[in-house]
Chains A and B, each alone.
Chain A
Amino acid sequence: MTAAVEFHAVSRHFGTVKAVDGVDLTIAEGSFFAMLGPSGSGKTTCLRLISGFEKPTGGQIRIFGEDVSNTPPHLRNVNTVFQDYALFPHMNVRDNVAYGLMVKGMGRAERYRKAEEMLALVKLDSYGDRKPAQLSGGQRQRVALARALVNEPRVLLLDEPLGALDLKLREAMQDELKALQKRLGLTFVFVTHDQHEALSMADSLAVFNEGRIAQIGTPQDIYDRPATRFVADFVGSSNVLPPEMTRALGGPAEWASLRPEATRLAASGPISGQVTALRYLGSGTRVVLDANGTEIAALVPAGQTVPAEGDMTAIAFEPGALHLMKGA
């Protein structure tokens, strides 16, 4: 498979701040790739390095094999859906969508026809004459998508595109984006700080921390086999067990992760402690206990008995649920 985007030891330093520091990355053509991380982890800078709004201070970036080090944004065949959508307020929806074609010199009739096609694709057929200010957040999001896609980019970049939408709409848009990506067979690169979004949408994802990639892999890899404590903690709030605890449980003296949903409460088990907090989640209850100073959470599915705060309880799990990490 061809690589749509390749990073070779790419860095972007701002003075002493290492926003991106020696990142190696390969994004396969036609994949839905997510860049996940907390704010300031370098994921957005990586996206801007692909679009050309940031220049790397070290390393090399290739898009479909071409070195783009000296290619300005407007000559890169990639398009971006911006976080704030960045629709032009003085143009109507049709002119917004047709903008990319207009600046490339396409005639009015032709570009309006293509713009209408794109608007139909994002289900905004009859909205061409409206101004962006007359649209809802979800509609603006679709216009931004149509405006990017009409240029037939080789790679579509999405910078936290769903961040401004409410939960219900966000979930609907997630499904739609995924379906659109499958239908078009395009490479989507998606930046988000929402682990659920990244896990549910991406074919593969990179978890960023402090300008570096902490782990890269499929959602299953990352969720089930986190490489570092950071990944275990950030993706799906896993339990992180210190080396001495792992050894006490019969493993080597290494850091390990244990998913709350892989555990069950039991009268006696390898881990026991006092319940310090309960959080009702609807589909279940997250029970946190203090096991000799380490906080361990277990997920009790709805319908089962939940202990009260201050009760002593124990946690049991299958031996395979304990995942050893490489340290750090």
Chain B
Amino acid sequence: MTSRATLPSRGLADQLTGLFWRRPGLLLLLLITPPLLWLGVVYLGSLAALLLQSFYSIDEFSGVVKEEFTLKTYGELFRAQNLDIILRTVLMAATVTLACAVLAFPIAYFAARYARGPWKAAFYLGVMLPLWSSYLVKVYAWKLILAKEGIVTWAAEGTGTGFLIDGLLSIPGLEGASLSTSPFGTFLVFVYIWLPYMILPMQAALERVPNSMLEASADLGATQSQTFWTVILPLALPGVIAGSIFTFSLTLGDYIIPQIVGDSARFIGLAVYQLQGTAGNTPLAAAFAVVPILIMLVYLTLAKRAGAFDAL
């Protein structure tokens, strides 16, 4: 018996597979339409609504939103108290990002280049585990750790290093009764909470740097620090930038940590939360919310100019 050159169709699955084979664009369309709708309508749509709101203003007496185009609300951002909020937030976000990058790099480097088998599993668990527990629980835990009666102060006094904390708390700008009421406490908690978001993209980027690249650098006479600055860092930069986008924008928008830990100074996120909720000043809240978006755009443009994405 001679067998046929083609096999009979076994039903719908075969017919669909055939259809997609004949028209590959169709499958792509089916797959990306739902996420595109989500992105287009829900995400970009709300962003557009936000942008629109920011060009409205509020009537100072009645508190009613006037739906007329104006730049008055943006002008309000430049009032001393609001400018103060923006500067404080950007400064915090920048220092948190820098600290995260410095802390994350050796961890990511170890995980990418040395950790194998169970060590790798331990690394992922160690980085991800904090993300499994509630954000609020972690922040309150830190409040207790950093409090005057907390373990940090207790340990410092026990080892006679209490003067370090006192010294830290007397630095202008970082004053507070204890670490948990000092801006330094806010900084510490931000760094702790966002660190995994810096480690993971960094590790992914470092893993893509082949070992022979580092050997080539050494072979050509580079010291380890030269290799770091001229080969490892430029090649890992897309990962560092990706991580910094997380830490930077998350800090820019967070409104819970500064409420719980620190000196209750306002940050952009907190300002948006209060203006939107308590004050009912949606236009100013929207204008505040546009600030991080602009900052991120400027940041990414600068990073691109500096060649951060050349290695992609």
Contacts and interface: CB of A to CB of B under 8 A. Distances in A.
Interface of A: 51-53, 72-75, 78-80, 82-84, 86-90, 99-100, 102-104, 147-148, 151
Given A73-B215, A80-B216, A89-B311, A104 B234 contact: no
A151 B98 CA distance: 37
B249 interface: no
A104 B221 contact: yes
Contacts of A83: 212
Interface stretch (B40-48, B131-139, B222-230): B222-230
A51 B310 CA distance: 30
A53 B235 contact: no
B213 interface: yes
Interface in B200-234: 210, 212-213, 215-223, 226, 230-231, 234
Contacts of A151: 220-221
B297 to A, nearest CB: 24
B106 interface: no
B234 A100 contact: no
A159 to B, nearest CB: 9
Contact of B212 (A78, A84, A102, A148): A84
Contacts of B311: 89-90
Contacts of A80: 215-216, 219
B217 A99 contact: yes
Given A90-B307, A90-B310, A99-B217, A84 B222 contact: no
Interface in B27-52: none
Contact of A103 (B213, B223, B235, B310): B223
Contacts of B213: 86, 88
Contact of B235 (A51, A82, A89, A148): A89
Nearest to A53: B215
B308 to A, nearest CB: 10
Contacts, number: 67
B210 A86 contact: yes
Contacts of A148: 219-220
A151 B217 CA distance: 12
Contacts of A78: 219
Given A72-B218, A74-B218, A99-B217, A88 B231 contact: yes
A148 B218 CA distance: 12
Contact of B219 (A79, A89, A90): A79
Most B-side CB within 10 Å, residue of A75, A87, A90: A90
B220 A147 contact: yes
Contact of B216 (A72, A75, A86): A86
A79 B220 contact: yes
Nearest to B310: A90
B220 A82 contact: no
Interface in B257-312: 307, 310-311
8 contacts: A73-B215, A80-B215, A82-B216, A86-B210, A86-B215, A90-B235, A90-B307, A99-B230
Contacts of B212: 82-84, 86
A73 B218 contact: yes
Given A53-B215, A82-B215, A100 B220 contact: yes
A73 B216 CA distance: 10
A99 B221 CA distance: 9
B234 A73 contact: no
A52 B216 CA distance: 12
B221 A90 contact: no
A75 B216 CA distance: 13
Interface in B161-218: 210, 212-213, 215-218
B216 A103 contact: no
A55 B221 CA distance: 18
Nearest to B237: A90
B210 to A, nearest CB: 7
B222 to A, nearest CB: 4
A97 to B, nearest CB: 10
Given A75-B221, A83-B212, A103-B230, 18 more contacts: A51-B215, A52-B218, A53-B219, A73-B215, A73-B219, A82-B212, A82-B215, A82-B216, A86-B212, A86-B215, A86-B216, A89-B235, A90-B307, A90-B310, A99-B222, A99-B230, A148-B219, A148-B220
